[in-house]
Amino acid sequence: MASWAYPPGPPDRSIKGDTVDPRDSGAAQAQPGSQLLPRIGFSKERLRLKLYAALLALDFLAITSGFLLGGLIRFGNPLEPAAANFIYTFAPLFAVLAFSGQAYSIRVLEQPRQGIFRATKALCLTAALLLIILFYMKTTGDVSRAAFGLGTLGTIGAITFLRHTFGRIVGERYHWSFMNEVLLVDGVTVYPSRGQIVCFAEAAGLAPDINDPASHGRIGALLANCDRVVLACPPELRVAWARTLKGAGTNVDVLTPELDYLGAMKLRHVDGRSAVLVACGPLAFRDRILKRCLDLAITIPALLMLAPVLLGIALAVRISSRGPVFFRQARVGQGNRIFRVLKFRTMRIEASDSGGTRSASREDDRVTPLGRFLRRTSLDELPQLFNVLAGDMSIVGPRPHALASTAESALFWQIDDRYWERGAVKPGITGLAQVRGHRGATLRREDLTIRLQADLEYLADWSLWRDIGIILRTARVLAHPNAF
């Protein structure tokens, strides 16, 4: 193992050299026979989503109980419309302001007091905004100010109590850990922090090799439910690991203990240790929710409306040539994990290329007459809606490639070492490169480079409106001269 010099510090925050004191049982180092990847039991992102929904429900309960209490105190009847009607206007407005004010975020789970402060702030803004609206509508004379004030105060008290109680219960149950953080160790000795999942690269058979898709697939499988990666490796391996992990679709921090001596001011810190941010997921949690909602909003109605078309094509494929209706092929997906893409079969079964070693050409003798029509009209891609429904793909994203795809006899990742960065998001049925007309076979190296550049541009400037724009522009390239 490499030896790192590091300033003295507490045992659980220091990085040591290539020998470890036996008393330091917290030091992470590879153990003989550790050949399996560590298992991340479940996605804490899904857990966080459930907890945010629970917090929102508790906030609505607090608003309801607060204004019902206000009606009881002011009118002697908790269901008095003059007080109870505030609930219907107060709750949705509060939800919008609380959501935009980060009242539902990982920080409020880790620090319940911060959640109480943010929720109370959103509550006060809601009350002020409602009063302004009522003033401009000239209806303040018809509103019970006592019921409104008592309801607001009651809501503040209820939110404080409910959020504090909920925060303590949830925090203790999950040990105040709401992220899956992997400490990836390669060739050094490092002390893991509490809650970190330690993975020894050498023992798990992981290496920063851009020419090994199997290794990328294993790394993607390891990081499938990961929220952050902390990499500890010798300086000479950092560039290789950084390039490898750029397609992981999650935040990646590289520990750089030697930079502590410089006293730099703009470094990231992980549990008191200096780190340099080298990669991050291009889509934040809210963005991924919005993108998934857009996918489902399009996919589900499309499958229902296109069901007769899908059935008709399936029957035509079955009747026109021997073999299965669908063609399944291993492709590189999100996190550079391998998944099986679904298409209508367009080639003769005995000539099908499951590995993707040969791109289809304009006069390809493997393609059936029906398959030629399906390819030219892009109808063979329709079954990928099922991949979107399953969560393996998105409507918009970089197109997934077969592992054996080449340009001028070179594998794609051998042409440009940025290739694996495409895995930061789900692959798409359509994408920025496709609507710009870059479709068909990749005969030359520049064919791959142009598409890769468009994919990286998409990752850098993603927005929901851009996805919608790409979907609308896709209609113009469904039938394309390069689609064969």
Report whether pLDDT(453) > 80: yes
pLDDT digits (tens, 9 = 90+) for 9-68: 333 333 333 323 333 334 454 443 334 556 666 778 888 999 999 999 999 999 999 989
The confidence score (pLDDT) of residue 19 equals: 29
Most confident of 84-93, 221-230, 306-315: 306-315
User: What pLDDT is recorded for position 63?
Assistant: 92
Among 209, 334, 188, CA closest to 254: 188
CB atoms within 10 A of CB 267: 17
Tokens read off for 311: 């059935």
pLDDT confidence of residue 18: 32
Question: Does residue 264 have a pLDDT over 60?
Answer: no
Q: Are strands 268-270 and 273-279 parallel, antiparallel or unpaired?
A: antiparallel
- Of the listed ranges 138-142, 270-274, 304-308, 449-453, the least confidently predicted one is 138-142
Which residues 6+ apart lie within 8 Å of 13 measured at CB? Answer: 191, 193, 271, 272, 273
Relative orientation angle of helices 145-173 and 44-75, to the nearest 10 degrees: 150
Q: Distance between CA atoms of 168 and 230, rounded to whole angstroms?
A: 28
Q: Which percentage of the chain shows pLDDT scores above 90?
A: 33
**pLDDT on residue 174:** 87
Separation between Cα atoms, residue 167 and residue 157, nearest integer Å: 15
pLDDT of residue 357: 60
- Residue owning tokens 């920063």: 208
CB 277 within 8 A of CB 353: no
Using pLDDT thresholds of 50, 70 and 90, give the confidence band for residue 1.
very low
Band of residue 444 on the pLDDT scale cut at 50, 70, 90: confident
293-348: per-residue pLDDT in tens?
A: 999 999 999 999 999 999 999 999 999 888 899 999 999 999 888 999 999 998 88
Place of tokens 């203990």: 257
State the Cα–Cα distance between residues 66 and 447, nearest whole angstrom.
63
- Cβ contact 343:327 at 8 Å: yes
In the chain, the amino acid numbered 436 is R
pLDDT confidence of residue 417: 79
Q: Identify the three-state secondary structure at position 328.
A: strand
> SS3 letters for 247-264?
CCCCEEEEECHHHHHHCC
The pLDDT tens digits for 164-192 are 999 999 999 988 888 888 999 998 988 88
Digit-coded pLDDT (tens) for 386-437 = 999 999 999 999 999 988 888 888 888 888 878 888 888 999 999 999 998 8
**Residue holding tokens 């018809």?**
142
Burial class (CB in 10 A: 0-12, 13-18, 19+), 134: middle
Helix (H) or strand (E) holding 297: helix 285-320
CA–CA distances in Å: residue 332 to residues 400, 443, 460: 6, 20, 20
Q: In the chain, helix, strand, coil percent, each to 5?
A: 50, 10, 35
Determine the 3-state secondary structure of 329 from DSSP.
Answer: strand
Mean pLDDT of 231-247: 89
Q: With contact defined as beta carbons under 8 Å apart, do 427 and 393 qualify?
A: yes
The model carries a pTM of 0.62
- Distance, CA of 52 to chain centre: 17
Q: Which secondary structure element, helix H or strand E, spans residue 458, and what is its range?
A: helix 445-460
One-letter amino acid of 83: A
Nearest to 402 by CA among 328, 326, 483: 328
**Confidence grade of residue 358 (pLDDT, cut at 50, 70, 90):** low
Do 78 and 72 form a contact (C-beta atoms < 8 A)?
yes
Longest dimension (CA), the chain: 85
Distance CA 287, CA 283 (A): 5
User: Does the structure show a pLDDT above 90 at 119?
Assistant: yes
pLDDT of 86 over the 80 cut: yes
Q: Percent of the chain scored above 70 by pLDDT?
A: 82
The predicted structure's pLDDT at residue 15: 34
* Phi, psi (deg, nearest 5) at residue 263: 65, 35
Q: What are the φ and ψ backbone dihedral angles of 379, each rounded to 5 degrees?
A: -70, -20
CB 289 within 8 A of CB 466: no
> Closest Cα to residue 365, out of 340, 347, 392?
347
pLDDT of residue 362: 58
- Comparing CA positions, the residue from 276, 226, 212, 279 lying closest to residue 42 is 226
pLDDT at 131: 82
The first and second tokens of residue 25, run together, are 């049982």
